[in-house]
């Protein structure tokens, strides 16, 4: 997911990439975790529910990818 989000992606696109079918499970167990750990960031942080919201890998996420 971090690799895919080097360019901003909608949550539905990230979910498709992950292969997780249940939206709530994806949101709660994956997307929220990556946001909390500062590995992904919202492109519109002040409007988390915006239909224009996208998610992008942070500098911390990029460092993690480089270390793999």
Average pLDDT over residues 11-35: 96
Q: What is the pLDDT of residue 68?
A: 73
* 6 vs 68, residue with greater confidence: 6
Total tally of structural domains belonging to the chain? 1
pLDDT in tens, 26-39: 999 999 999 999 99
CATH code of the domain containing 58? 1.10.10.10
Average pLDDT over residues 13-18: 96
Write out the residue range of the structural domain in which residue 11 sits: 4-67
Report field, pTM of the whole predicted structure over 0.75: yes
**The tokens of 66 are what?**
């480089």
pLDDT in tens, 53-64: 999 999 999 999
Q: What is the 3-state secondary structure (H, E, C) of 3-50?
A: CHHHCCECHHHHHHHHCCCCHHHHHHHHHHHHHHCCCEEECCCCCCCC
């Amino acid at each position: 997911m971090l690799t895919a989000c080097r360019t901003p992606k909608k949550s539905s696109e990230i979910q498709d990439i992950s292969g997780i079918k249940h939206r709530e499970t994806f949101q709660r167990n994956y997307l929220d975790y990556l946001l909390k750990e500062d590995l992904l960031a919202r492109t519109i942080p002040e409007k988390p529910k915006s239909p224009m919201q996208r998610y992008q890998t942070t500098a911390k996420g990029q460092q993690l990818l480089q270390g793999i």
